[in-house]
Amino acid sequence: MDIHAQGGGIHYTVQCVREATPTALYDSLMGRLECMAGAGTTTVECKSGYGLDLDSELKQLQVLEQAKKQQPLTISSTYCGAHSVPKYVRLSGLKLTFCSTHTHTHTVFLAPFLL
C-alpha cells in the first residue's frame, strides 16, 4: 500500500503501458514468451488491465492477438481492466463492455485500499 500511495505500483505500470508503442509491447512480450517456451511452458494466461483506458486496453489486447499468431504457446487472454481505479475516474462500464469482445476471460478485482 505504501508503494501505491507514493505513485508507484499499478499507476506507474499504467503510465509505462500508455507511453509504450505496440511494437515495444510486442517485443517485450515475445521475449518473455520465448523464455517460457524454452522452459517447457505450453499455455500461458496474459492479462490486460495495465492501461485503464479504452485505447490502452485495446492496444494490449491487439498485441496479444498478434503474438498468438506468431509463436507456438497457447495464450489465454484475460481482460483485467477493473483491478485498479484510474486516478481520474471511477469504474467505466463502457470499457468492460467493449473490451470483453476481445478476450476469453474477464476478471474484476479491486483491492479495498484502491477504492
Averaged over 6-11, what is the pLDDT? Answer: 76
Looking at residue 26, what is its pLDDT? 97
Looking at residue 49, what is its pLDDT? 80
**Interval 46-73: pLDDT, tens:** 988 888 788 888 899 899 999 999 999 9
**Position with higher pLDDT, 51 vs 74:** 74
Residues 56/86, Cβ–Cβ less than 8 Å: no
Lowest mean pLDDT across 36-40, 47-51, 75-79, 101-105: 101-105
Query: 44 to each of 32, 106, 114, how far by Cα in Å?
Result: 11, 15, 27
> Where are the domains positioned within the chain?
2-30+42-114
**Interval 85-104: pLDDT, tens:** 666 555 544 444 445 555 55
Q: Per-residue confidence at 41, pLDDT binned at 50, 70, 90?
A: very high
Read off the amino acid at residue 49.
G
Tell me how far the alpha carbon of residue 11 is from its chain's centroid.
13
Q: Per-residue confidence at 114, pLDDT binned at 50, 70, 90?
A: very low
